[in-house]
Structure 1
Amino acid sequence: MDTVAGDLDSRVRAHLEHLAVERGLSINTLSAYDRDLARYRVFLDGLGRADLNGVTRADVGAFLASLGGAASSVARTMSAVRGLHRFALAEGWVGVDVTDEVPPPRVPLRLPKALPLAEVEALLAAAEATPPTKSGAPMALRDRALLEFLYGTGARVSEAVDLDVDDVDRQDRTVILDGKGGKQRLVPVGSYACRALEEYLSGLRPELVRKARKGNGGALFLNARGGRLTRQGAWTVLGAVAERAGMAGKVSPHTLRHSFATHLLDGGADIRTVQELLGHSSATTTQIYTRVTVERLREVYATSHPRALTGDLPVG
């Protein structure tokens, strides 16, 4: 052991390597955990802890109390710390998990924001009005195809931009999506999204391919230069379309995913089916959408039923 920081660094590196190789966490998640655990290492170094064996429950509680910022950020940091100590216990580096009895911070429930169907349709219509690029490429076909696809499949934007043309079975109207942790799922593609994809694939993509200076790996969605559309590029597309629709700042790619799930449940789909379509490993994650639907039901009931109660219930 050279230094306190060095010893802790080696433990953290081993833990992050385990998360990357065995758990298949994304680069973004691993980077966030690395930043969180860096703060934890600095805190422990300030306490003079030589290694994880010297850390106490009081130390973890003090670290939790020292954290500022949003509750969700604090919760993620504590999740990273718990994961490190549980891994240390499993590896035999420590004899007890000192985070076991430290209560987690309370995170207020945030319901996902779904757009009403009318606003989704307005957004998709605005995509048809996408102005051509400086080179004259009519990108409206791609923009409409991208947004129809995101709303029609519930795909994450990262899943959409990673797609190749061959991933979409245009005859069977299905697509293979690579989700978190490398888990694949087969999702139906609705007729509106299929039509938009066909128009893009036949009417614009060949032109974009000719503009490419190098291969694009058969990517489905291309940028104006013929390269694979990036996640940031997809965000830019949606932001521009939302602004034209008068919805600037109100929409993100995840908003379309939330709308996909909420509209399915509103239409009578069961939660297990929605879970499969979204690629959630646990139904618990999907259940938050049922809360959105219940809130919508309450709203409709309160404004539509002639005997809906408004105000306090009578006593006695």
Structure 2
Amino acid sequence: MPSENELHRAKEAFLKYLDGIRGYSSLTIRSYHDAIDEMLLYAEIHDEADILMINLMPLRLRIAPLKSKTIAAKLSAIRSFVKYLRSQKKTVELRGDESVKTPKTLPKPVSHDHIIHALQCADPMAQLAITMLYTMGLRISELTNLRVDDISHEWCRVRGKGDKERDVPMLGNITTMVQTYQRISPSKAYVFEAKGEKLSENSLRYMITKAFAKVGLKVTPHQLRHSYATELLNNGARIADVSELLGHASMATTQIYTKLGNALKMDHYLKSHPLCHSPEDSQ
């Protein structure tokens, strides 16, 4: 079995990764810290033929009285830690981590003004990355894999989950930004490269979170995708169109992902339903 000190050092390295690379809030990092400490204290952990075995059942029994949402959050934090351990070349088998059903929650969108403020303080690469996420609704993985040849004058070919492709509208000034950036920093194939190699997701994520940190904000790339969808829906875009632009396999995902405010729903209802109009309106 790995020593307690080794696992605690791995935990501290993981938390620094969440802060510096993923840009998680201090409150979220604290919740991860507590969940992992509980795992280290109550789970059965031992080595078996060079495999780190983690059985969460003793922990699950202890936290069973808690609300399902709280249990799900703790399990999610532990799974993320295990994923990090595996990325560090550690073979880990996790048991007793079955999901707990809980209502889906959403990341908060970033206000337009905050995004503009961050763009004003960002370097050219960060400016382009933030702008493309915000105006095209891309996942960070899609932005990483975006090739120069994928971009035309008004459209961009995006490769999403499961290698599914979709075409996303691209504003003319964004195309110009890409061309300007390419003159400053020419690349072989991908829009974002460093020393002739495609920039990794973590490098792009760190660059974006750092740009927002300059203006005192904790913002993740996924929040920019959420902001894109929210702005479209709040300004009258059809949910079917937004779903297609986001690359969702099901419109139900978009309905969960982009909740309209009640006031906007009422406004759309009053404008759309025929019985909400006076007889004079139909003449």
TM-score for both structures, normalised by structure 1: 0.53
Match of 1:28 in 2: none
2:222 is the counterpart of 1:254: yes
- Offset at 1:181? 1.3
Residues of 2 paired with 1:179 and 1:73: CA distance?
29
Residues of 2 paired with 1:289 and 1:257: CA distance?
10
Aligned residue type for 2:136:
T
Helix, strand or coil: the match of 1:110? coil
Of the three residues 205, 227, 230, the one matched with 1:235 is 205
Match of 1:147 in 2: 130
Of the three residues 232, 241, 262, the one matched with 1:264 is 232
Residues of 2 paired with 1:113 and 1:148: CA distance?
18
Match of 1:180 in 2: 161
Match of 2:144 in 1: 161
Match of 1:222 in 2: 193
Gaps of 5+ in 2: 1-42, 44-56, 64-69, 79-97, 266-283
CA separation of 1:241 and 1:104: change in aligned 2, threshold 3 A: closer
Residues of 2 paired with 1:228 and 1:104: CA distance?
35
Aligned residue type for 1:150:
L
CA separation of 1:156 and 1:115: change in aligned 2, threshold 3 A: same
Aligned residue type for 2:243:
Q
CA separation of 1:67 and 1:148: change in aligned 2, threshold 3 A: farther
Residues of 2 paired with 1:63 and 1:180: CA distance?
36
Contact map agreement 1:155 1:278 (CA 8 A) in 2: yes
CA separation of 1:76 and 1:166: change in aligned 2, threshold 3 A: same
2:193 is the counterpart of 1:205: no
Residues of 1 paired with 2:75 and 2:135: CA distance?
34
Helix, strand or coil: the match of 2:107? coil
Residues of 1 paired with 2:214 and 2:131: CA distance?
16
- Offset at 1:156? 0.5
Identity of aligned residues (%): 32
- Listed as ranges, the matches of 1:1-316 within 5 Å are 65-66=60-61, 70-72=71-73, 74=75, 105-127=100-122, 130=123, 140=124, 142-169=125-152, 171=153, 173-202=154-183, 204-206=184-186, 209=187, 218-223=189-194, 225-247=195-217, 249=218, 251-291=219-259, 293-294=260-261, 297=264
Gaps of 5+ in 1: 1-42, 44-61, 78-102, 131-139, 210-215, 299-316
Residues of 1 paired with 2:135 and 2:62: CA distance?
40
- RMSD over equivalenced CA pairs, Å: 3.6
- Offset at 1:289? 3.8
TM-score for both structures, normalised by structure 2: 0.58
Between 1:259-268 and 1:236-245, the stretch displaced more is 236-245
Aligned residue type for 1:205:
S
CA separation of 1:163 and 1:296: change in aligned 2, threshold 3 A: farther
Q: State the 4+ residue runs in structure 1 displaced beyond 3 angstroms.
A: 62-70, 72-77, 295-298
- RCO higher in structure (CA 8 A, sep ≥6): 2
- Offset at 1:229? 1.1
Residues of 1 paired with 2:62 and 2:145: CA distance?
36
Residues of 1 paired with 2:73 and 2:250: CA distance?
20
- Offset at 1:239? 1.7
Contact map agreement 1:164 1:219 (CA 8 A) in 2: yes
Contact map agreement 1:113 1:255 (CA 8 A) in 2: yes
Aligned residue type for 1:281:
A
- Offset at 1:241? 0.6
- Offset at 1:111? 2.5
Aligned residues between the structures: 194
Match of 1:310 in 2: none
Residues 217-236 of structure 1 show CA distances to partners (whole Å, capped at 9, x for unaligned) of: x111112x342111011011
Helix, strand or coil: the match of 1:287? helix
Contact map agreement 2:71 2:100 (CA 8 A) in 1: no
Residues 131-160 of structure 1 show CA distances to partners (whole Å, capped at 9, x for unaligned) of: xxxxxxxxx2x2211111111110101111
Q: Which has the higher strand share?
A: 2
Residues of 1 paired with 2:59 and 2:246: CA distance?
33
